[in-house]
Amino acid sequence: MNSLFIEFRDPLFSVIIFFVLIFIIAFFSYWWGSFKSKRDFRHLDKFLRQFNSLPSQNELNVLITSGELSEKSWLLLANSYFKSGDYEKSIEIYNAILEAGDKSNYREIMFLLGRTYFKAGFLERAKQIFLEILKNNPRTPQALHYLLLVYEYMRDYNSALDVLEPLNELNKDVTADSIYLKCLSILNDVKLSAEDKSHKLLEVYKTTHQLTYMIFEYLFRVNPKLAWKHFDSSKSELLSDILWHVDKKDLDLDIIAQNGYLRELYTARGDVDLAIKSSVFELNILINLGGKVNATMSFEYICESCKQVYPFAFSRCTNCHAIDTSRLEYSLTKDYHRDFSEENNSFQ
């Protein structure tokens, strides 16, 4: 029985104690390392989380009044949120500065707040802010300009046209805005028929020779015959994408035959055979391919003023608010429409 127990003075006992101690030390060191790394990780997580959410409105007020950060620093922070599209945070900061800050830059901060409301799509709030600025400072062209945009986006064209007068008195060029608003009010007038709208738009075009794209886009859509009748061949390149999408049955072959660019465009599309080459690279490729390859033209629109690129046509740039600054860019793509029709035909 005694042989089952190891005696206290047995050297084997010391060896076992030694290994047990090593095991205990290794276990505690592993536990401590794992605990520490978890604690560090949680600490870093907590630290990073504070950048994902802004303090509440009350906390912001306390922070701003405490003066730990200057008003300029808060404005820079709000502006960086505005630029990154985080309008909610930008609005919270502007409101907190207006509530808690000194009143020295009140009008400027109100303007920034109104601009952010406008960009975020809170048009009614933006309108109230700009009207309040103008109540005390009627000669503020920036506020007038944004008020005009707000009315335009709200489709209140008469109010927008009213804003042009004070802007004009401040020596701001409002010609383009005036023509654009006139066209918009015609296009959105529910009492007018498509024919009346076409004739009214043509009247505007004949007297101003501006907004060609906007006016002819509508005319080619609702009345291609009228559009061809008043078509100015010198504007062919400007209207390339509209012309490219005109239905084959609506083409005016006499006008096409008389204009070099139109001959190239419709030869490239495969409707006529009146050109053997083109100075436009994409059209030249399509003319030379002669419809043997499944390719077509696609278009992009660049604002000449701010260089913003859009996948769709625009009359007022949503980025810089300039009017009629769209420039076309061509590219060649696969013709999915032809692919689809060929697939359908194969079942017949």
Complex with Zn ion: residue 266 or 314, whichever CB lies closer: 314
**Are the beta carbons of 140 and 133 closer than 8 angstroms?**
yes
How many C-beta neighbours within 10 Å does residue 133 have? 23
Q: Does residue 140 sit in helix, strand or coil?
A: coil
Complex with Zn ion: residue 29 or 142, whichever CB lies closer: 142
Is residue 204 part of the contact set for Zn ion (CB under 5 A)?
Answer: no
Closest approach of Zn ion to the CB of residue 281, in Å:
26
Q: Does residue 144 sit in helix, strand or coil?
A: helix
How many C-beta neighbours within 10 Å does residue 302 have? 16
d(CA 245, CA 226): 16
Complex with Zn ion: residue 110 or 317, whichever CB lies closer: 317
Is residue 317 part of the contact set for Zn ion (CB under 5 A)?
Answer: yes
Q: Return the amino acid letter for 261.
A: Y
Closest approach of Zn ion to the CB of residue 73, in Å:
30
Closest approach of Zn ion to the CB of residue 314, in Å:
9
In order of 4, 6, 10, 96, 159, the CA distances from 1 in angstroms are 6, 11, 16, 85, 109
Is residue 176 part of the contact set for Zn ion (CB under 5 A)?
Answer: no
Is residue 306 part of the contact set for Zn ion (CB under 5 A)?
Answer: yes
Q: Return the amino acid letter for 312.
A: F
**Which listed range, 166-174, 197-205, 216-224, 314-322, lies at the site for Zn ion (CB under 5 A)?**
314-322
Interacting positions 212-231 with Zn ion (CB under 5 A): none
d(CA 150, CA 137): 18
**Which listed range, 129-137, 162-170, 247-255, 320-328, lies at the site for Zn ion (CB under 5 A)?**
320-328
Closest approach of Zn ion to the CB of residue 186, in Å:
24
Interacting positions 84-143 with Zn ion (CB under 5 A): none
Is residue 305 part of the contact set for Zn ion (CB under 5 A)?
Answer: yes
Interacting positions 284-303 with Zn ion (CB under 5 A): 303
**Which listed range, 81-89, 99-107, 236-244, 312-320, lies at the site for Zn ion (CB under 5 A)?**
312-320
Complex with Zn ion: residue 298 or 305, whichever CB lies closer: 305
Angle formed at CA 67 by CA 66 and CA 69, multiple of 5 degrees = 125
Is residue 318 part of the contact set for Zn ion (CB under 5 A)?
Answer: no
**H helices within the chain, ranges in order?**
11-49, 57-66, 71-83, 87-100, 106-120, 123-136, 141-153, 157-169, 175-187, 194-208, 212-222, 224-229, 240-244, 253-258, 260-269, 281-289, 336-345
Is residue 304 part of the contact set for Zn ion (CB under 5 A)?
Answer: no
Which of 258, 319, 331, 333 binds Zn ion (CB under 5 A)? It is: 319
Which of 14, 27, 320, 340 binds Zn ion (CB under 5 A)? It is: 320
| Residue ranges binding Zn ion (CB under 5 A) | 303, 305-306, 308, 317, 319-320
